[in-house]
Amino acid sequence: MVSSPLLVSLTFFLSLPLLLFLSPHILSPPDADDLALFRRAAAPHTTSHLSATPKIAFLFLTNSNLTFSPLWEKFFSSSSSDHHRHRLFNIYIHADPTKNITISGGVFHHLVPAKPTARASPSLISAARRLLAAALLDDPLNHYFALLSQYCIPLHSLQFTHNFLFKNPHKSFIEILSNEPNLFDRYTARGEHAMLPEIPFSSFRVGSQFFILTRRHARVVVRDILLWNKFRLPCVTEEPCYPEEHYFPTLLSMQDPNGCTGFTLTRVNWTGCWDGHPHLYTAPEVSPELILRLRESNSSSYVYLFARKFAPECLTPLMEIADDVILRE
């Protein structure tokens, strides 16, 4: 008969691989509700009403008030009729519960269960995944998923935005770059070999965290566990490693590079910026000429649909040109 201590040691040895496999879930009990949500959202769903108008899910990720909600209200009401307008979109909001945030109401009422977020941390990845999961589960007609912040503004009308997205080949609009400065430093920020073997440096990508994903790619994101368990690791370097700028482009580049355009439709101005923050537009800079300039793209096939980053004081001058410039079709 096997002695009791030997039996315990043998049992532990045989169960070690299972413990290692489950350790991310066992060691992080706060993620249990997220994992359940993602599992449900990643499951195959029957799409009903296949002939119905496909929708855009607008995903607002914020840690402060939605200052530009009056402009967005105009945007969402800019279609021809109430009946037609509400067939084009849904809105979802992830608002940091540790901040004193007031949601204006109106079309901004669908808050998803949220957790605290912090810049340059995996919490922003988790927040975006919650938004994607909520939108996937809420409406099978959500075909595109646009991630936005409180500093984003629309550059066109809702009808133009909808027509533009659905007239193009069904691809995700996400920036995917492989030759940016400091890319290797970002890759090794968790440790020289921390990303291996799942993510070799040759597969590591960077891009804007603001994207427009197809439904298929939204499911890829919420289904992922392998890469998430790498990107959730803390950075050990002095400089921030901005996991939210790497996780999504790396994942989709590895899973389906041909299904991505490789660029974002959210315009941002990095000219003269060095501290990780893009140019912040102020009220004196707002003009019809600025809006027209922000729309322009280097591509003959695409235009920018959104822009950031705008200071709250820009609301008044933006509202003054909303009808005649921003939302004019």
Between 50 and 265, the higher pLDDT residue:
265
pLDDT of residue 79: 64
Sequence letter at residue 57: A
CB 133 within 8 A of CB 85: no
Helix (H) or strand (E) holding 154: strand 153-154
Please tell me the distance from the alpha carbon of residue 315 to that of residue 321, in angstroms, as a whole number. 10
Looking at the chain, the whole-number percentage of residues with pLDDT higher than 70 is: 86
The confidence band for 48, taking pLDDT boundaries of 50, 70 and 90, is: low
For the chain, give every domain's residue range: 52-266
Q: Per residue in 146-192, pLDDT tens?
A: 999 999 999 999 999 999 999 977 899 999 999 998 999 999 999 99
Segment 313-319 shows an average pLDDT of 98
The confidence band for 51, taking pLDDT boundaries of 50, 70 and 90, is: low
Candidates 70, 139, 153, 75; CA nearest to 105 is 70
pLDDT at position 67 over 80: yes
What is the pLDDT of the chain when averaged over all its residues?
A: 88
Candidates 32, 48, 42, 35; CA nearest to 137 is 42
pLDDT of residue 104: 80
Which class would CATH give 52-266?
alpha beta
3-state helix, strand, coil in the chain (%, to 5): 40, 15, 45
Q: Per residue in 249-269, pLDDT tens?
A: 999 999 999 999 999 999 999
Q: In terms of C-beta distances under 8 Å and separation of at least 24 residues, what long-range contacts does 28-34 make, across chains too?
A: 30/115, 33/113, 34/126, 34/129, 34/130
Please tell me the distance from the alpha carbon of residue 268 to that of residue 128, in angstroms, as a whole number. 19
Between 28 and 320, the higher pLDDT residue:
320
| Strand residue runs (E) in 4-101 | 55-62, 89-95
